[in-house]
Structure 1
Amino acid sequence: MSKTPWMIALAILSAPAFAAPTTCPQFYAGGVAPDINKPAMAKKTKEFCYSAFDVMNSGVTLTPLWSAEYLTPKSIAAAAKLDRKGNFHAEDRLPEAERAELDDYEKSGYDRGHLSPNHDMPDRDAQQESFVLTNMVPQAPKVNRGLWAEIEKTVRQQVQAGNSLYVITGPMFEGSSLTQLNKRVMVPTAVFKAVYDPKSQRAGAYVVTNDRNAPDIKAEIMSIAALEQRLKINLFPAIPDSVKSTRWPLPDPTGPTTTGQSKATAATTSTHGRRAH
């Protein structure tokens, strides 16, 4: 029986880690990029080093596996002076069969959701780079335009308070039934944002279910170790296990929800961008 793309993607989700050397060590704690702990997940991967973030693209899911940033008070202060600007575009350095196209998102009901946000970009060139589809995943509009935007803002506020942070953002593909856009681009079941503060030696992650039909959208806050167990990716190979296993109680992101209730729940152990134009 031939394997469909979603069957291959599920195989992603048993074997030694894959750790390709990064061309963008400045965006990773200790200069070390994530290790992929599932060989199938490493198939058809390609790194793209942009000026303000680094991406590992998957030619299987046609999405990034992650997008990494190093945010400093200086870079965020520069970003704050810029209004939102940029045009969505495909990454033409990828083979057509391994890249998402604008047409894949057209009338799909999903936003082209930034992983490394436009509002983190310190200059116009970086802003335009952030609109590349290798930095996008299909995101439910109520997630992308609501709670996820608040999480992005909350992380920036931590940086504005004087904390330089390593941030890795990406999709999660869990379960036996996955959706595709245009029979090509995988739709994540959830999205995560992992945050590490090297000065205070604290780390934690937000996870948000990517469900268009959920009556309410909430963020789960968990340890990096718990997230890595679910992802099968070692996000921060260079930081101590003790830091990864201790959950940083990240701020509850504020802003509107569909019910007006609190949007973040804490997970002490293992648990479970932007509009399209």
Structure 2
Amino acid sequence: MKSFINISLTLTSLLLASTANAANCLEGCPTGLNNGKTIERSIYTLKNNRYTKFADWVAYQVTPNTMSGPSRSRSWKSDPDLYSHHTLEPSDYTDAYATINTDRGHQVPLASFSNTADWRLTNLLSNITPQSSALNQGPWVRLETAVRNHVDDGNNLYVVTGPMYEYYFADLPRANENHTIPSGYFKIVMKQSGNTIKASAFIMQQSAGRRDNFCNTQVSIDEVESRTGINVLPNLTSNQEQTIESSVFGLASELGCN
């Protein structure tokens, strides 16, 4: 009986993991950059990097049911599913704003999951990076708002987002772990209608100005992949990959870009 129960629990766990993966990722979760642990959660899937101490990518799906909840608090915590030396702790961000002018920037936005029971998972530091205040409070948040505005019209959107490391930006002044702060970020927004996938990709630098227009940062998924080493949609066929990943502006009008 005990063996049967263990097998049943194992099968159930695998089924739940598969379901979470399917819910968070479109055409498979990203692959590449095997430097850490993949964590699947109810509202997102992320791939942590044990060297940089930040997630290489985070994938999630925003729906009308996940957002528009009450205002939620920001209570930062280390990720309990990661070794302590593979992630940061709240004290590592002490004086970050005062010295290098960065915010604790969510990769998965809290506001996009404020109506879920697991909204607190967005405040785990595996989902946070030191993001320049001008970027975080400027074009980055306006893109996140554009995503929610389109979802609010009754659409489900898939998003893959993550950091880029193309030049030295800064160090957290009080961190006692080795870490690498991103020089910029990518965000890929995707919508599936039947067998059709439309996508828009964006790359923004930490040097972005607060008034910058996120629409001017659109690139192809191919460019994101070539600059990050990530395969964003690994389950696409060759023909689908060519069509979807080489194009730009796929969701531009839906996100408010002319």
Report the TM-score range of the alignment, normalised by the length of the smaller protein: 0.7 to 0.9
What's the TM-score once normalised by structure 2's chain length? 0.79
What's the TM-score once normalised by structure 1's chain length? 0.73
CA offset digits 1:195-222 (Å, max 9, x no partner): 111115211112211127x586453011
The 2-side partners of 1:208 and 1:252 are apart by 19
Cα distance change of structure 1 residues 208 and 252 upon mapping to structure 2, 3 Å threshold: farther
SS of the residue aligned with 1:138? Answer: strand
The 1-side partners of 2:181 and 2:113 are apart by 25
Q: 1:113 aligns with which of 91, 105, 117?
A: 105
* 2:93 matches 1:93: no
Say if 1:204 and 1:244, in contact at 8 Å, map to a contact too.
no
* 2:254 matches 1:230: no
* Number of residue equivalences: 225
Structure richer in helix, relative to its length: 2
The 1-side partners of 2:81 and 2:95 are apart by 25
SS of the residue aligned with 1:169? Answer: strand
Please identify runs of 4+ aligned residues in structure 1 that moved more than 6 A: none
**How many Å apart are 1:130 and its aligned residue?**
0.6
Higher Cα Rg, which structure? 2
Q: 1:192 aligns with which of 157, 181, 186?
A: 186
Stretches of structure 2 that go unaligned for 5 or more consecutive residues are 1-16
Partner of 1:54: 45
* 2:69 matches 1:81: yes
SS of the residue aligned with 2:37? Answer: strand
Alpha-carbon RMSD across the aligned residues, in angstroms, is 2.5
* 2:54 matches 1:63: yes
The 1-side partners of 2:113 and 2:255 are apart by 21
* 2:24 matches 1:34: no
Aligned counterparts, 1:1-277, within 5 A? 24-30=21-27, 32-36=28-32, 41-43=33-35, 45-75=36-66, 79-109=67-97, 110-123=102-115, 125-175=117-167, 177-181=168-172, 182=175, 184-199=178-193, 200-211=196-207, 217-219=212-214, 220-239=217-236, 240-241=240-241, 242-247=243-248, 248-251=250-253
Among the aligned pairs, what percent are the same residue?
A: 24
